[in-house]
Amino acid sequence: MSGDTLIVQEVATRDGFQIEPVFVPTAEKIRLIDALAAAGFSRIEVSSFVSPKAVPALADAAEVFSGIRRRPGTVYVALVPNPKGAERALAAKVDEINLVASVSETHNRANMGMSPADSIAGFARIMDSVRGAPVSTNATVATAFGCPFEGDQPVDKVVAQVERYLSLGIDGVTLADTTGMANPRQVGRLVARVLPLVGPGRLTLHFHNTRGLGLANVLAAYDAGARRFDAALGGLGGCPFAPGATGNICTEDLVSMAHEMGVPTGLDLPALIGLSRDLPRLVGHDVPGQVAKAGRPCDLHPAPAKAA
Amino acid sequence: MSGDTLIVQEVATRDGFQIEPVFVPTAEKIRLIDALAAAGFSRIEVSSFVSPKAVPALADAAEVFSGIRRRPGTVYVALVPNPKGAERALAAKVDEINLVASVSETHNRANMGMSPADSIAGFARIMDSVRGAPVSTNATVATAFGCPFEGDQPVDKVVAQVERYLSLGIDGVTLADTTGMANPRQVGRLVARVLPLVGPGRLTLHFHNTRGLGLANVLAAYDAGARRFDAALGGLGGCPFAPGATGNICTEDLVSMAHEMGVPTGLDLPALIGLSRDLPRLVGHDVPGQVAKAGRPCDLHPAPAKAA
């Protein structure tokens, strides 16, 4: 894989489905994940081992993991909020667990019911429990680019949290713009600061398109050396604070941008567009992705008759 | 105005309304344009002096120009497709006429019913007719980043058209991504090529968000030295080839990005958000802009009770 390859981690079945009011049937989730793997993803965040009461849409995480075909070359990830979730994830034979704590105290209390320090103390226990298990680990700094309650977060606090993750032996780090507050200059600065600590092979950027800047932020991060990005098919994901706002950055829009820029992704874009066009059937509404509506730039149209 | 100021030319009442199936009442257009001027725009593309049969939505161009208050410091522009349109524009006392010809032969024949060479020959006659009149001129290279019928357009052909415009004495030049086919690398290259010919004070970039890359393309153009951008309130505009696709880049999303990046625009963002939120009443449907739905990043939310 060339050094300029852009790696997309597909998160639609986790970050997308978790906010949907409908329960996507387990068999449909499995079919979609297998189709995504076949389209070439090296990383898929499949589901989340959270409380089924808190997130009923993902209550079938274990069934989904047992139902999917494990494609060689694809890392199947699960989000894990706490030690109990880690146990369930290990039992489900996930390839990687993704831990999450917000840098914002207020956001972590709202999201996790505890302080960030207590979340990270839980990560230490999880790291003890997975030692020797055939599983890799990643941890996410949520609200790294701003908190919807507190606003801007000090860069030094974000960096300290990254360093704490690394000191626990966690393999990879994600900087998450949880509610779409980042801007390209801020992204360039934070990536430049964190990349030397983590390395491009272990750093993931997670952007939401809440304010329309998702792909501009990807461009800034890529130009600063980041190579791995979360994205959701169709731009699923939404935002709890912004009814009608878009969600995660859209996988097929990101892949189209990369390919048009000459940046390889290893992904089959026409296959992704086909899968995205099937999403409204699964979630019951239109999805925000643009390329699935407009086609690729190279999908030309017949000239009008009067132009002949 | 500082050298890093990003100038937005508002085009909602022209490029936005022209594709709407409803006729926005003339009084509403006038009210909106006056409110946009009050929000600080130095340039507004008000309407188009095209055939009322071809674009019935803009049949009231002359009435709109006679009804608006001329705010000092705002340049009121009209799109003009041909010498007859130029006569009507002069009679309406526009400040600037914007001529348009595609670099793609097929697109120009489809859009204008003639070859690009014939369009540009018309521009020469228009330039003769406006000599001495109190009006400035701009000309747009449509499909500069790709044609939906022909695909990629050779950069040399785009540059030759820019040079032809300048040789006619036209004051400003717009490079238009008419159907949203541009990507950031291509934008950076073309801006680097054209900027030395035209200069940042006279070059406008016109992007559509058809494939989700609008603001990423702005970022690439800005970083290459471009300073003036067309945008439409609410992201109005649509695309005739892509039902459901978004239109022009969204003014308030662009302005939010610029302000978050520390780039001044001279525009009152809260006022723009207010005007954007009123657009569904005028056009009868939701509009694609995100910041009007999500609020600015600095518009914080109260912490949930359990986080206290």
Percentage of the residues of chain B whose pLDDT score is greater than 70? 98
CB atoms within 10 A of CB B72: 5
* Residue A308: per-residue pLDDT: 40
Give B58-113 pLDDT, tens digit per residue: 999 999 999 999 999 999 999 998 999 999 999 999 999 999 999 999 999 998 99
> Which of the four pLDDT bands, split at 50, 70 and 90, describes residue B165?
very high
B253 → closest Cβ in A211, A290, A293: A211
| B1 pLDDT above the threshold of 70 | no
Give A51-73 pLDDT, tens digit per residue: 999 999 999 999 999 999 999 99
* Residue B305: per-residue pLDDT: 72
Cα B283 → chain centroid: 18
* Mean pLDDT of the B4-32 span: 97
| B157 pLDDT above the threshold of 80 | yes
* Residue A1: per-residue pLDDT: 61
How far are the Cα atoms of B258, B259, B281 from residue B271, in angstroms, in the given order?
16, 14, 17
Give B169-179 pLDDT, tens digit per residue: 999 999 999 99
Chain B partners of A219 at a C-beta cutoff of 8 Å? Answer: 184, 216, 219-220
Give A123-159 pLDDT, tens digit per residue: 999 999 999 999 999 999 999 999 999 999 999 999 9
User: Which region among A116-130, A241-255, B31-45, B102-116 has the lowest average model confidence (pLDDT)?
Assistant: A241-255
B216 → closest Cβ in A219, A246, A291: A219
Rounded to whole angstroms, the Cα distance separating A295 from A67 reads 32
Strand partners, B117: none
Residues 134-153 of B with CB under 8 A from A: 146, 148-151
* Mean pLDDT of the B39-45 span: 98
CATH label, A7-307, candidates 3.30.750.24, 3.20.20.70, 3.40.190.10, 3.30.70.100: 3.20.20.70
Structural domain spans, chain B = 7-307
A to B CB pairs, distance under 8 Å: 167
Cα B107 → chain centroid: 18
Collapse the DSSP code of A61 into the 3-class scheme (helix H, G, I; strand E, B; otherwise coil) and give the result. helix
Asked whether the beta carbons of residue B113 and residue A306 sit closer than 8 angstroms, the reply is: yes
B239 catalytically annotated? yes
> Which of the four pLDDT bands, split at 50, 70 and 90, describes residue A306?
low
Collapse the DSSP code of A75 into the 3-class scheme (helix H, G, I; strand E, B; otherwise coil) and give the result. strand
Would the CA dihedral through B297, A184, B218, A292 be positive or negative? negative
Strand partners, A76: A44
Minimal CA separation from A293 to chain B, in Å: 6
Collapse the DSSP code of A206 into the 3-class scheme (helix H, G, I; strand E, B; otherwise coil) and give the result. strand
Report the largest interatomic distance among the alpha carbons of chain A, rounded to a whole angstrom: 71
| B153 pLDDT above the threshold of 60 | yes
* Residue A77: per-residue pLDDT: 98
Residues A103 and A179: beta-carbon distance below 8 Å: no
Residue in chain B closest to A244 (alpha carbons) equals B293
Q: Which of A274, A284, A202 is nearest to A236 (CA)?
A: A284
Give B201-226 pLDDT, tens digit per residue: 999 999 999 999 999 999 999 999 99
Residues A16 and A240: beta-carbon distance below 8 Å: no
**Cβ of residue B115 closer than 8 Å to a chain A Cβ:** no
> Tokens 């105290």 identify what position?
A105
Residue in chain B closest to A247 (alpha carbons) equals B290
Chain B partners of A146 at a C-beta cutoff of 8 Å? Answer: 297
* Mean pLDDT of the A81-97 span: 96
Please count the CA atoms within 13 angstroms of the CA of B64 that sit on its side-chain side. 30
Give A274-297 pLDDT, tens digit per residue: 999 999 999 999 999 999 999 999
* Residue A168: per-residue pLDDT: 98
Three-class DSSP labels, chain B: CCCCCCEEEECHHHHHHHHCCCCCCHHHHHHHHHHHHHCCCCEEEEEECCCCCCCHHHCCHHHHHHHCCCCCCCEEEEEECCHHHHHHHHHCCCCEEEEEEECCHHHHHHHHCCCHHHHHHHHHHHHHHHCCCCCEEEEEEECCCCECCCECCCHHHHHHHHHHHHHCCCCEEEEECCCCCCCHHHHHHHHHHHHHHHCCCCEEEECECCCCCHHHHHHHHHHCCCCEEEEEHHHCCCCCCCCCCCCECEHHHHHHHHHHCCCCCCCCHHHHHHHHHCHHHHHCCCCCCCHHHHCCCCCCCCCCHHHC
Give B259-286 pLDDT, tens digit per residue: 999 999 999 999 999 999 999 999 999 9
* Residue B307: per-residue pLDDT: 42
